[in-house]
Structure 1
């Protein structure tokens, strides 16, 4: 018997890792989204490029950078992340609307999580979490409810090989989610 009384997820969202030659989580989350759309109606997003090349283009378009005196890389959420994804789509001859939201509220579970998953559109969740993720971009891939009707959402956290389930109320009440990014190709 499953722990979830109901669950929905977007099938086929890649789970690239934030490590090795792809150390910046913003471009890696973007790579997951680009690869998904390349396999779902936008087949020219990745033509002859390797995953590494797509990552490097996203790193450039998003204005990602190595943080001085650390091994960390960063991507600003105040325009460069969403503008970089839009620019990549444009570079490949498509249009995409990438909408960011810094005002995360309870209603965003339905208006962002449920809506995007039900429409098979992976998005991005940016954490500002001192306990586990720090400042970290992830890829939204699903949601679920348990037997107590508790709301969960699932992500590729770019470290684990499996989907990670997070308690929406806990993350919302503890201000762990800094921003969400809705990606709609057109």
Structure 2
């Protein structure tokens, strides 16, 4: 099947070479659809990696690591995604099980690293213009409306192209995670290779943390902070601290947090109101043993919180809709982590597993830390 555009592209997958004026391809050998913008030229970085092969390997890898939710999962289609420089540097891989959506991968075309993924019956950009997708940071997807305007797909809010300069600065200051092992280290590790090329695997997850969606609460807008706060409060209520909510209704918790934190429908909640607001809430419910504090958003701190089974909050930078006068960003709930060494390229990816409070991203979203995203704050909620 072929929809005509003006730019020829050449793609190779599994030995198949195609040269067509098409936006969408169905590979008969793999039954995979490739969706790319018309600007997807033959010399684009988006063809520098065999994305289908990488995705298939990642599915097999997840299964061998014991993640049974990947059983029966295959690749449905691959969608090219542009960055803030108008370059196709990411690929959105839509996963399927039988005839339904099973989740998604976002793969960096240059490094081949899996930078974001989640399981579920949704994927970023679903129902939007898939030939016009932009990936501008963790959980930050957009369509371009015109030469100077973008629409952020989770909020449907528009923002100007000038704001992308901040993304460029943040990315240039991010930590590079792609340090290679030295020859001596590589030689010593080779004997330890286990599942395919994965060694030093570490993973933990906090069960029982709700995944509420802010668009399910019609009493507020831009309410990622109260929604994330309600998720953590309900986690502890279900652990026996029943006075944290007499009604057991998460929207009531979120609404109260919104009041305490001085939430505004335009600005959301300022960073300096998060810890004080959570502390005020637990105090008025009669608990003096709960405290919320800011901490440096290092991977080791995230690991400590998850190992202690105390879900916290992460603030993500690079989030597009930032009204003048607000802190911007986006708050998600930290529920897990994963890290390992990949001996095929000696990378050491570190993932934060989060509950995003938008319904477009599935339940447990893995975000690659370091140069592919900006986590600027961590708040610990302890008892």
Report the TM-score, using the length of structure 2 for normalisation.
Answer: 0.42
Deviations 1:38-81 (A, max 9, x none): 011322111125222111101011111121xxxxx510112x11
Residue 77 of structure 1 corresponds to: 271
Q: Which residue of 224, 229, 238 maps to 1:25?
A: 224
Q: Tell me how far 1:2 sits from its aligned partner.
A: 4.4
Runs of 4 or more, structure 1, over 4 Å off, are 130-134
Residue 37 of structure 1 corresponds to: 236
- C-alpha distance in structure 1 between counterparts of 2:261 and 2:214, whole Å: 16
- C-alpha distance in structure 1 between counterparts of 2:333 and 2:224, whole Å: 10
Residue 46 of structure 1 corresponds to: 245
- C-alpha distance in structure 2 between counterparts of 1:145 and 1:74, whole Å: 32
- C-alpha distance in structure 2 between counterparts of 1:164 and 1:146, whole Å: 17
Task: Say if 2:13 is the partner of 1:13.
Answer: no
Residue 92 of structure 1 corresponds to: 285
Q: 1:6, 1:145 within 8 Å by CA — same for their partners in 2?
A: yes
**5+ residue gaps in structure 1?**
68-72
Matched position secondary structure for 2:240 = coil
- C-alpha distance in structure 2 between counterparts of 1:132 and 1:177, whole Å: 17
Q: 2:257, 2:277 within 8 Å by CA — same for their partners in 1?
A: yes
- C-alpha distance in structure 2 between counterparts of 1:49 and 1:38, whole Å: 8
Residue 143 of structure 1 corresponds to: 337
Higher RCO, 1 vs 2 (CA within 8 Å, ≥6 residues apart): 1
- C-alpha distance in structure 1 between counterparts of 2:315 and 2:309, whole Å: 19
- C-alpha distance in structure 2 between counterparts of 1:130 and 1:15, whole Å: 20
Residue 66 of structure 1 corresponds to: 265
Report the TM-score, using the length of structure 1 for normalisation.
Answer: 0.83
Residue 114 of structure 1 corresponds to: 303
| 119-128 or 156-165, which deviates more | 156-165
- C-alpha distance in structure 1 between counterparts of 2:339 and 2:363, whole Å: 18
Q: Tell me how far 1:127 sits from its aligned partner.
A: 1.2
Residue 57 of structure 1 corresponds to: 256
Matched position secondary structure for 2:214 = coil
Trace 1:127-138 onto structure 2 (pairs within 5 A).
127-130=316-319, 135-138=329-332
The root-mean-square deviation of aligned C-alpha atoms, in Å, is 2.2
Residue 70 of structure 1 corresponds to: none
The structure in which a higher percent of residues are strand is: 2
- C-alpha distance in structure 2 between counterparts of 1:11 and 1:130, whole Å: 27
Q: 1:129, 1:177 within 8 Å by CA — same for their partners in 2?
A: no
Deviations 1:139-168 (A, max 9, x none): 000001245242111000111331110112
